[in-house]
Amino acid sequence: MNIKRQQTDILILGSGGAGLFAALHAQAANPKLRIIIATKGLLGKCGCTRMVQGGYNVALNPGDSIERHFMDTIEGGKWLPDQELAWTLVTKAIERVRELENEIGCFFDRNADGTLHGKAFAGQTFDRTVHKGDLTGIEIISRLMEQVWARPGVEKLEEHRALGLIKSADGKTLAGVLMLDIRTGAFKFIQAKAVLMATGGGPTMYRYHTPSGDKSMDGLAMALRAGLPLRDMEMVQFHPTGLLAGPDTRMTGTVLEEGLRGAGGHLLNGNMERFMATYDAKLERATRDIVSRAIYAEMKAGRTTPNGGVYIQMSHLGAATVAKKFKGMVDRCRDCGFDLAGGIVEVVPTAHYFMGGIVCKVDTATELPGLFVAGEDAGGVHGANRLGGNGVANSTVYGGIAGDVMPQWVAQHQEFSPPDETMLTAEIARALEPFQKPAGDINRLRENLLDLMWDDVGVVRDAEGLARGVGKLDEIERELLATGVADTDRAFNLTWQDWLNLRSLCETSRVIALAALRRENSRGAHYRSDFPDPGDFETSRFTVARQVGAKVEVSEEPVRFTHIKPGQSLLTADIAAE
């Protein structure tokens, strides 16, 4: 097939916080570089960064410290995080938040003395979450978007979908990426010296989920097919308070941010009883995994609201105060018929963030030379549980690092690698499969996936349910591969896009289930009712999944305690020594 071909020094997949920061840093490092940002939607209007409500974790207050932020991250992640990645996160966050303010142009809320205000977030020992009301993500992504649009040297490919990582003819490096122009249906091969994977995670394979509809785990699916190792794939974070607006609206699952509980919000079951004391001494300010399981337990016990969840109540803090501090969420709830400020709102645990991802180094390099990764596509930073506020910090910190590193890589590797034409042809054929099959009901298959992942691979898991889930996934994928699309016009063919989305979700869902079967203990977001004990922290191991041929193999590797070991404290360990 005749396809368009284009060359660039740096190709960035994704236009969230990681991708935009990388573009700005890369151009600043070398303005002569050819840089392309390719995004599945519209620049700055799609993805998850703009949906961030809560804020940005950074140790700025004299009463706080990077060591304290680090320990909260490690302990919150149940000793599974890569400590080098976590240490870089907490130290670089200070530099990055200053950059956001002074260079990017973000305005964050301030205290009366002019210092940045930090609000309370669950699982943290200090109120360090810098924010712009409850619309922090919109502030960050809007300013980043303005900066990128102001730089004509950065080419923008909007509504371009990445389909496959194409290796070099000798298989030793990455040659480029096969793209699909969604507007025209045309294929394009972009040959690049360096590629940043920053497509974001987005566990939208669950019945209740918060990420935007364009998220379908494409980046991890492509990495899997390219043979790259993925770690911590069982670690799906459920945010405890997703809006439960009813079964007939896509607003269900939309997150109501953690600051509500941090500010003193109460969770009530269907009997109007405050129940968190039964599950954790920190009550509503326990970590997300604990609160999600508590809500799930109330749901399984039948103590539910009319739509099957629980309530969050803020009215005891004063309706006027709530309306002022959480305007964005008050407005959102009002649009759905709920009074967050003065009444009660139904909520349910909702799949929110993916801690798993591609194995990478601190400099964002991956096993495949020429491929870098940042943001939610990267694994290891958060371990078993991400602290609220560490997500957007992760994206911007490592997006900036990738933007600094990739120009150095390009300077050392100035020749383009010729692509593996056989691999390129195979990826095109793979994408065109549904045009060779009779049309079917793709939406029904998607609904089946949502149910099986919630029921069998969800908040609480066991071997029987996980095995059943893998079997159902096989059935859904077989039916999908036998199902086509009726419209043969590839231009803006949304049914075709849905088909491609569902295939990526099936591939990554299977890895989640298989990794969850492999981990026979309960850590953070991963809870096995048949193995409830967390295991020995001192011998902690993380899962590594890799596709070998048509089969996914899951192994385990020991966590390296490079800064601090379980049982040590800030007083007994020099955690910044290495």
Is residue 322 within 8 Å of residue 314, measured between CB atoms?
yes
Token pair for 27: 């151009």
For residue 327, how far is the Cα from the chain centroid? 25
Q: Residue for token digits 């009779």?
A: 438
- The sign one gets for the Cα dihedral 26, 27, 32, 36 is positive
SS3 category, 458: coil
For Cα atoms 6, 7, 11, give the angle at the middle one, nearest 5 degrees. Answer: 105
CA distances from 404 to 28, 34, 339, 411 (A): 9, 15, 46, 12
Catalytic residue among 25, 131, 207, 239: 239
Half-sphere exposure of residue 383: CA atoms within 13 angstroms, side-chain side: 32
Task: Give yes or no: 261 in active site.
Answer: yes
Q: Which residue has the tokens 């974790």?
A: 57
Do residues 364 and 336 touch, judged by C-beta distance below 8 A? Answer: no
By C-alpha distance, which of 518, 525, 541, 529 is closest to 467? 518
Nearest 5 degrees, angle CA 74-CA 77-CA 79?
60
* 236-271 CB burial, b ≥16 within 10 A, e <16: bbbbbbbbbbeeeeebbbbbbbbbbbbbebbbbbbe
SS3 66: helix
Residue 38 to residue 410: CA distance in whole angstroms: 19
Task: Give me the helices (H) in 168-242, please.
Answer: 218-225
Q: Hey, what are 105's tokens?
A: 């142009």
DSSP state of 520: -
Q: Which of 166, 205, 101, 122 is nearest to 452 (CA)?
A: 205
Q: Which of 96, 131, 261, 519 is catalytic?
A: 261
Phi, psi of 563 (to 5 degrees): -120, -40
Catalogue the active-site residues.
239, 261
